[in-house]
Amino acid sequence: MAELWSTLVPLALASAVVPVQIVITVLLLRAPAGRKTAAAWVAGMTATRLAQGVVFGWLVRPEDSGSSDEPALVVSVLLLVLGILLLVTAARALLADDDPDAPPPRWMAAFDSVRPGKAFLLGAGLIAVSAKFWVFTLSALGAIEAAAVSGTVAVVTYIAFVLLAQSLVLAVIAVAIVVPRRSDAFLARVSDWLERYDRGIVVVVGVVFGSWFLFKALDGLGLW
């Protein structure tokens, strides 16, 4: 299990710090129907991640082919792809290219009028169309499969991964619920901080996690 979580924790943390989901959560919380809309947004993301877990972790789970090395090989390849993807994203941010996952500025004001139903669809759609989130999820599912844990442990582990991957947006919403009177100032500071340091966050996350996943991939492929 220690080996499994040495892969899952970095995957979940790298997924959690993707700026776009935090920015949109803050924007939704600052809208008139803030808490309900933000909760629906996170519920949409959660629903897609759980659906991915059911489909790719169970319905299309490969049958035992007699090779115990195959799942580990798949995980190594996915981590290699993810490491390269994060490093390329960091390089693009460093060279002043826009983050392809970042919401266009003209969309910012539109979140003031988003209702819970639409927020749910937006959350589900973000996870469904983002290449980064797909690779995070498939890598996590592959790592769980490679660990050869029991069905119940696999389900609990994947749910824990999903919660950890959404820990930052859940924490932001929790603050808005627990201290609603102070949340406006807090959300404003978070929004300003993310806007100011967005490029730096992308670079640091890309370099740190990209290098780690690249190392894990090369080690798993026997090339390190």
pLDDT band at residue 99, thresholds of 50, 70 and 90? low
Alpha carbon 18 to chain centroid, angstroms: 6
User: Is the model's pLDDT at 110 over the cut of 80?
Assistant: no
Cβ-Cβ contacts under 8 Å for 16 (sequence gap 6 or more):
164, 165, 166, 167, 168, 169
Higher pLDDT pick, 212 / 183: 212
pLDDT digits (tens, 9 = 90+) for 1-54: 788 888 899 999 999 988 888 888 988 888 777 889 999 999 999 999 999 999
| pTM to 2 decimal places | 0.82
pLDDT band at residue 93, thresholds of 50, 70 and 90? confident
Alpha carbons 54 and 154: distance in angstroms, whole number: 11
pLDDT digits (tens, 9 = 90+) for 111-126: 767 888 999 999 999 9
DSSP assigned state of 66: S
